[in-house]
Amino acid sequence: MTEKEKCAQGLLYNANYDQELIDERVKCKDLCHEYNQTKNSDTEKRNELIKQIIKHSKEQFLIEQPFWCDYGYNIELGENFYANHNLVILDCAKVSFGDNVFVGPNCSFYTAGHPINAIQRNEGLEYAHPISVGDNVWFGGNVVVLPGVSIGNNSIIGAGSVVTKDIPDNVIAFGNPCKVLREITEND
């Protein structure tokens, strides 16, 4: 089994010495670098580059520069996706966003994690678990979402949160670790 196949199955794998994964990351990061250096006013080139990076998207989306990801092909964007400056997506596993998702500045989505066992960690082993974000979700600035988390439809994640566990539909959640504050009601 290749390291890429191990990764896709959520098993421990080594991305540091596998040439296929290294080559894919280098290609993606070169495209991110080019995207980040493109003038904001050159929308045609920006759109061309971001569509080379992110292969699975609906028609309308905007990611402000700078933006970084590992592979790009594991990212899925819904319609009307918007991300402010300094978005980081470590997409070793799938990261999917629903429609009408708004991401504040300096947000990060990490599918990669490392073993607790120091020997395995020092060997360069890691795992990747997918992240799923529903429709109509809003992330405040400086939010970090960790591996394996799902965030429900219509929810709001407050600025500065570290999301370590699933968040249900229709709630406001914040904190480190992120916890549900309350449900969103008709009065909101």
Residuewise pLDDT in 10s, the chain (188 residues):
999 999 999 999 999 889 999 999 999 999 999 999 999 999 999 999 999 999 899 889 999 999 999 999 999 999 999 999 999 999 999 999 999 999 999 999 999 999 999 999 999 999 999 999 999 999 999 999 999 999 999 999 999 999 999 999 999 999 999 999 999 988 88
**Pair 144, 125: CB distance under 8 Å:** no
Task: Judge whether 161 lies within some domain.
Answer: yes
Q: pLDDT tens digits for 64-115?
A: 999 999 999 999 999 999 999 999 999 999 999 999 999 999 999 999 999 9
Per the DSSP assignment, residues forming a β-bridge with 13 are 126
**Number of domains making up the chain:** 1
Neighbours of 160 (CB within 10 A): 16
Cα separation, 42 vs 78, in Å, equals 23
Per the DSSP assignment, residues forming a β-bridge with 45 are none
Q: Considering the entire predicted model, what is its pTM?
A: 0.95
Task: Judge whether 188 lies within some domain.
Answer: no
Give the residue numbers spanning the domain of 11: 3-183
Please list the active-site residues. 114
Task: Judge whether 70 lies within some domain.
Answer: yes
User: What distance separates the 2 farthest-apart alpha carbons in the chain?
Assistant: 54
**CATH code for the domain in which residue 18 is found:** 2.160.10.10
Q: Could you tell me which residues come within 8 angstroms of residue 61 by beta carbon, excluding any fewer than 6 positions away?
A: 77, 78, 79, 80, 81, 82
